[in-house]
Structure 1
Amino acid sequence: MVRSLVTGLCLAVFAAVIIGLSNLLGLDLEHVALLGAALGGVLGLVPHRPAWGKPAGFLAGFLLAWLGFALRAAWLPDSSGGRAVAAFLVVALVAVVTGLSGGRLPLWSGLVGAASIVGSYESVYTNAPSQFLSDSPAAATTVLLAVGLGFLATTLAVPQADTPRRDRRTAGKGSASDSGPSTSTTLDDLVTGAAS
């Protein structure tokens, strides 16, 4: 409970800092501050090994969704059908990339990356699809900064978040053979693959 409170408060401070940076540096971060901080918090809190797989999966999903916007702007009709094709391709490619990584890039982080660019840029794109080349870099960099600060906040507040629960339970108890096999499986074990 205390760890969740401390992490949440640290994330809240960073969300306010993102808005403060927006005003100080003349950036347009205000509309993505909460989105970026929350998605960065998720990225920092969910355990996964290897640790670099989380941001790498995020970036893969982010880039694939950005390319989905490019595909919509260049070739697909601005209709429900065109949006459906782009959404299908983005999610399918995220799944393929994470599948080919052999578990090193988690699917959830790729989906978080795709959601971050879609959440920050979809309304801008809808208003001016022809301005993709000029508008999308600004949307991408602002949400990446907000996500990065949210990720940093959770990483600083809870540096052990990447350690699976099973490792923390058996730490200091000798070897796994000394303590006997573990029969309980936690959600963290299932998410990280440690239960297999």
Structure 2
Amino acid sequence: MVRSLVTGLCLAVFAAVIIGLSNLLGLDLEHVALLGAALGGVLGLVPHRPAWGKVAGFLAGFLLAWLGFALRAAVLPDSSAGRAVAAFVVVALIAVVAAVSGGRLPLWSGLLGAASIVGAYESVYTNAPSQFLTESPAAATTVLLAVGLGYLATNLLAAQSEPHASARPRPAVDARRTERAQRDQRDDSSSTTDLDDLVTGAAQ
């Protein structure tokens, strides 16, 4: 409970920092501050091994969704049918990437990456589809910055709270040691029984 509270407060601070950076540097980050911080926090909090896999999956989904906007701008009509085709293609390709990677690039992180660019750019694209080449790079970089700060916040906390490798329990090693001790104990008991039988036989 305490860790969840601390993590949430840290993400809140980073969201405020993103908005502050937007005003200070003249960046258009205000409308994606909460979106980016939240998605970056989810990306950092959900465990996955290898750790780079979820980041790579996020970037793959982000890129595929961005290409989906390019497909809509270049080929597909600006209608419900065009948006449906683009959504189908993007999600299907993300699923293919996750399957081909053998789970190293998880499906959920790819969908998270697609959601980030869609959330940051969909309304801008709807207002000016013809401005894709000039508007989409700005939207992509701003939301990636926000996501990166959110991811950094959660990973810094995880690194501080994670126990040292030497202090972590090793269930497999402990199980082997217990089994070896029980086997040695049985061998000692068997040897003692054999010795007692030998002594008893000699006495008779």
TM-score interval for Structure 1 and Structure 2 normalised by the shorter chain: 0.7 to 0.9
- Aligned equivalents of 1:161 and 1:105: distance in 2? 25
**5 Å matches for 1:72-151?**
72-151=72-151
Query: How many Å apart are 1:93 and its aligned residue?
Result: 0.1
Query: How many Å apart are 1:158 and its aligned residue?
Result: 1.7
Task: State the percentage of identical aligned residues.
Answer: 82
Query: How many Å apart are 1:177 and its aligned residue?
Result: 2.5
> Secondary structure at the residue paired with 1:52?
helix
**CA RMSD between the two structures:** 2.2
- Aligned equivalents of 1:111 and 1:118: distance in 2? 10
Query: How many Å apart are 1:175 and its aligned residue?
Result: 1.3
Amino acid at match of 1:80: S
Amino acid at match of 2:128: A
**5 Å matches for 1:1-196?**
1-159=1-159, 171=169, 175=173, 177-178=175-176
- Aligned equivalents of 2:98 and 2:76: distance in 1? 25
- Aligned equivalents of 1:56 and 1:160: distance in 2? 24
Query: How many Å apart are 1:162 and its aligned residue?
Result: 9.1
Structure 2: 5+ residue runs without aligned partners?
A: 179-204
Please, what TM-score do these two structures have when normalized by structure 2? Answer: 0.81
Query: Rg larger in 1 or in 2?
Result: 2
Amino acid at match of 1:143: V
Amino acid at match of 2:94: V
Please, what TM-score do these two structures have when normalized by structure 1? Answer: 0.84
Higher helix share: 2
Structure 1: 5+ residue runs without aligned partners?
A: 181-196
Query: How many Å apart are 1:88 and its aligned residue?
Result: 0.2
Q: Aligned pairs, how many?
A: 176
- Aligned equivalents of 2:88 and 2:177: distance in 1? 47
Moved over 3 A (4+): 160-163
